[in-house]
Amino acid sequence: MIRRVSVSRSLFDICNYICLIALSLLCILPVIQVIAVSFSSSSAAASGLVKLWPVDFSLKSYEFILKKQDFLGSFLISVMRVILGTSISMFLTVTLGYALSKEVKDFRMRTVYAWYFVFTILFSGGLIPWYLTIKYTHLLDTIWALVIPGAVTVFNVILLLNFFRGLPKELEESSFIDGASHWTTLWKISLPLSMPSIATVTLFTVVGHWNSWFDGLMLMNSPSHYPLATYLQTAVIQQDFANMRAEDVKTLSQISDRTTRAAQIFIGALPIIAAYPFLQKYFMTGLVMGSVKE
Amino acid sequence: MKTVKWRRELPLHILVFPSLIIVFLYCYIPMFGNIIAFQDFRPIKGLLGSEWTGLTNLKYVLEMPNTYRIIWNTVYISTMKIMMGNIVPIIIALMLNEIRKTYVRRSIQTMIYFPYFLSWVILAGILIDILSVQNGIVNQALGWFGIQPIYFLGNNTWFPITLVVTDTWKEFGFNTIVFLAALTSINPSLYEAALIDGANRWKQTLHITLPGILPIVILMTTLSLGNVLNAGFDQVFNLYSPQVYESGDILDTMIYRIGVADAQYGPATAIGLLKSSVSLMLISVSYWMAYRFANYRIF
């Protein structure tokens, strides 16, 4: 059978393609433009010649920021918080998700616990009490302030919980009959079977830690303890020169402010861009997973 | 019998315990800490030693000259965001659904949810650059069409629009995926039946596709109702400046300025508590509605 394509249909198809391709370009071109600016010479950037490709290729701004102590320092702090924060967070999410995935007949307190955690989605303590609590528990100005208070993400727990529930019950039962404890069952049976969902939640946690900036701004007293996102917030967005050293301000006046800012933004986004292939692969899985319930 | 059961459940209690403590410390204690809202809080005197002042703080905040405008800004910006955040993804999902070549569809999907993963600090840095009046590429492009440069981030008419558009730009990829997943779950035999009855693509979209995704659309809208007082602190804080306070200042940025910049702990907590209480009601209603009409459960 020959499929007849009407004129209006092919016209629609063409428009549809054009619109969608334009739209997807709209989503990535701003990033490309900033990358182009960061690799351009300062005079080209300052006079607005740079479009989507570097004009007068130059690495000056990268040389400048990679020599900057506070930039490198905050980069390392970010890396540290990602590693620490993700391991703590994942440990708590997995253990809590496993326990709450049990049925009420096996774990009578389950519903009480579940509501205890879900209530924190519904109501929160507000900015000042949150800050004061962290202050009174002596976490202020330490890396633990960025890692401990937000370690239990209830949404991720729910995601994992629903996945654990979808696993065949017979597997767990057989492991209990063989004399395994909950602990062994969790690590030897449930966890290996849930690797796709664990990967999704881990990636979300990593991205969350890398991106979060407000806690650093609130909880770190000295700028030398800022994670990269907070550093960028103060240096690029607020353009706070107060935290800068005198010689940095001098160098900055020689090379363009615009290219430096662009370079810092690009380095800040680089880990996300590098992880993006994995992110988008697990993104779909995560979404589908979260919506499948029994 | 009872002790045996208790002993069997003990390991599960132990697994819950660390999370229980952390959530108690950093979620529940701050909730009790909200009593600062009714105190003349002095850090030296502490939480229990500070003087009780009843509703003075709340009255003080509500009598500030800008409060009602800020509440209006918050509701206006977030409502526009919720509307755009649902309408745009539906349209894009429908358009993507018409593309038959898988690799084209896949590459478009990959590109449209890229901004979703970048933080507002990065995006604000990018936006400040591309929207700038002097050399921003957006204003240059507008210039090619003979349009005068627009001060997107410094003009009170344009600032809320910029907020809504850029927020939609960042977020629409996510909802598009959700709606696309709903589209693929529509029974194909419905389309075959419609084809036999002589319905064209447009009629099929109108009578099969749209009703097919209606439940998930209702669900997403309902769940976003709880966010009416969250107009997006991260975005506004990184993009605004004093000249657009009039149109862009929202509750969360106001709380930040009163509480952190001016160190007025009591008033900041009072307005924060008011906001979380209203939000609690809104979220409860929205979850209840989602449960009632879409059979949605959180866990």
Burial class (CB within 10 angstroms; exposed 0-12, middle 13-18, buried 19+) of B105: middle
Burial class (CB within 10 angstroms; exposed 0-12, middle 13-18, buried 19+) of B265: buried
For chain A, give the DSSP string: -PPP--HHHHHHHHHHHHHHHHHHHHHHHHHHHHHHHHTS-HHHHHTT--SSS-SS---HHHHHHHH-HHHHHHHHHHHHHHHHHHHHHHHHHHHHHHHHTS-TTT-TTHHHHHHHHHHHHH----HHHHHHHHHHTT-TTSTHHHHSTT---HHHHHHHHHHHHHS-HHHHHHHHHTT--HHHHIIIIIHHHTHHHHHHHHHHHHHHHHH--HHHHHH-SSGGG--HHHHHIIIIIS--GGGS-HHHHHHHHHS-HHHHHHHHHHHHHHHHHHHHHHHHHHHHHHHHHHH---
Nearest to B220 by CA among B191, B185, B280, B180: B180
Inter-chain touch A127–B268, beta carbons under 8 Å: yes
The pLDDT of residue B226 is above 90:
no
Q: Does A140 touch chain B (CB under 8 A)?
A: no
pLDDT computed for residue A293 by the predictor? 44
Question: Does the residue B59 lie in any domain?
Answer: no
Same structural domain, B147 and B267: yes
Phi first, then psi, for residue B39 (nearest 5°) are: -125, 160
pLDDT computed for residue B79 by the predictor? 94
CA B11 to chain A, closest CA, distance in angstroms equals 7
Question: Does the residue B111 lie in any domain?
Answer: yes
The pLDDT of residue A172 is above 70:
yes
Inter-chain touch A127–B272, beta carbons under 8 Å: yes
Same structural domain, B19 and B78: no
Inter-chain touch A92–B22, beta carbons under 8 Å: yes
Same structural domain, B156 and B246: yes
Question: Does the residue B20 lie in any domain?
Answer: yes
Question: Does the residue B130 lie in any domain?
Answer: yes
pLDDT computed for residue B297 by the predictor? 74
- Candidates A5, A27, A28, A259: best to mutate against B (most CBs of B within 10 A) is A27
Same structural domain, B20 and B81: no
Same structural domain, B251 and B113: yes
In chain A, whose CA is at the least distance from the CA of B100?
A13
Domains and CATH numbers, chain A: 7-58 (no CATH), 61-291 (1.10.3720.10)
Least confident interval from A154-168, A277-291, B202-216, B246-260: A277-291
Higher pLDDT, A117 or B224: A117
Inter-chain touch A17–B13, beta carbons under 8 Å: no
Q: Does A33 touch chain B (CB under 8 A)?
A: yes
Partner residue opposite A19 with nearest CB, options B20, B95, B173: B95
Q: Does A262 touch chain B (CB under 8 A)?
A: yes
For A77-93, give the DSSP string: HHHHHHHHHHHHHHHHH
Report the mean per-residue pLDDT for chain B. 89
Inter-chain touch B265–A95, beta carbons under 8 Å: no
Question: Does the residue B299 lie in any domain?
Answer: no
The pLDDT of residue A2 is above 80:
no
The pLDDT of residue A276 is above 70:
yes
Same structural domain, B68 and B211: yes
Same structural domain, B196 and B231: yes
Q: Which amino acid is at B121?
A: V
Per DSSP, what are the bridge partners of residue B39? B52
Distance CA B294, CA B223 (A): 11
CATH code, B142: 1.10.3720.10
Higher pLDDT, B122 or B182: B122
Same structural domain, B41 and B165: no
Inter-chain touch B299–A114, beta carbons under 8 Å: yes
The answer to whether residues B23 and A152 touch, using CB atoms and an 8 Å cutoff, is yes
Partner residue opposite B126 with nearest CB, options A34, A109, A130: A34
Partner residue opposite A133 with nearest CB, options B29, B137, B173: B29
Distance CA B31, CA B272 (A): 11
* pLDDT more than 70, % of chain B: 99
Same structural domain, B153 and B12: no
- Candidates B26, B45, B167: best to mutate against A (most CBs of A within 10 A) is B26
ipTM of the complex: 0.87
Phi first, then psi, for residue B40 (nearest 5°) are: -95, 80
CA A243 to chain B, closest CA, distance in angstroms equals 17
Same structural domain, B102 and B42: no
Average pLDDT over residues B195-212: 88
- Candidates A16, A127, A147, A186: best to mutate against B (most CBs of B within 10 A) is A127
CB atoms within 10 A of CB B184: 8
Burial class (CB within 10 angstroms; exposed 0-12, middle 13-18, buried 19+) of A136: middle
- For B146-161, the pLDDT digits (tens) are 889 899 998 899 999 9
The pLDDT of residue B137 is above 50:
yes
In chain B, whose CA is at the least distance from the CA of A176?
B8
Inter-chain touch B135–A46, beta carbons under 8 Å: yes
The pLDDT of residue A260 is above 70:
yes
pLDDT computed for residue A40 by the predictor? 86
Same structural domain, B81 and B47: no
- For A63-75, the pLDDT digits (tens) are 888 888 888 999 9
Inter-chain touch B130–A34, beta carbons under 8 Å: yes
Inter-chain touch B130–A213, beta carbons under 8 Å: no
Residue whose tokens read 């977030």: B78
CA A201 to chain B, closest CA, distance in angstroms equals 14
Question: Does the residue B58 lie in any domain?
Answer: no
Q: Which amino acid is at A103?
A: E
For residue B236, the enclosing domain spans 64-294
Q: What is the dihedral of CA B161, B164, B170, B176, to 10 degrees?
A: -120
Residue numbers of A between 52 and 91 with CB closer than 8 Å to B? none
Distance CA A45, CA A56 (A): 9
pLDDT computed for residue A258 by the predictor? 84
Question: Does the residue B32 lie in any domain?
Answer: no
State pTM to two decimals: 0.88
The pLDDT of residue A1 is above 50:
no
In chain B, whose CA is at the least distance from the CA of A16?
B95
CA B65 to chain A, closest CA, distance in angstroms equals 22
Inter-chain touch A25–B234, beta carbons under 8 Å: no
pLDDT computed for residue B250 by the predictor? 95
Structural domain total, chain B? 2
User: Cα separations (Å) of B274 from A1, A126, A212, B234, B260?
Assistant: 67, 10, 26, 20, 18
Distance CA A244, CA A259 (A): 17
The answer to whether residues A70 and A80 touch, using CB atoms and an 8 Å cutoff, is no
Size of interface A-B (CB pairs under 8 A): 251
* pLDDT more than 90, % of chain B: 45
Same structural domain, B99 and B209: yes
Average pLDDT over residues A123-148: 92
Residue numbers of A between 179 and 238 with CB closer than 8 Å to B? 181-183, 186, 207, 210-214, 218, 229, 232-233, 236-237
Question: Does the residue B6 lie in any domain?
Answer: yes
Q: With cut-offs at 50, 70 and 90, classify the pLDDT of residue B127.
A: very high
Return contacts of A151-155, CB within 8 angstroms, 24+ apart: A151/A85, A151/A88, A151/A89, A151/A92, A151/B19, A151/B22, A152/A89, A152/A92, A152/A93, A152/A96, A152/A117, A152/B19, A152/B22, A152/B23, A153/A89, A153/A93, A153/A205, A153/A208, A154/A117, A154/A118, A154/A120, A154/A121, A155/A121
Distance CA B101, CA B103 (A): 6
* Chain B residues near residue A30 by CB distance under 8 angstroms: 126-127, 130
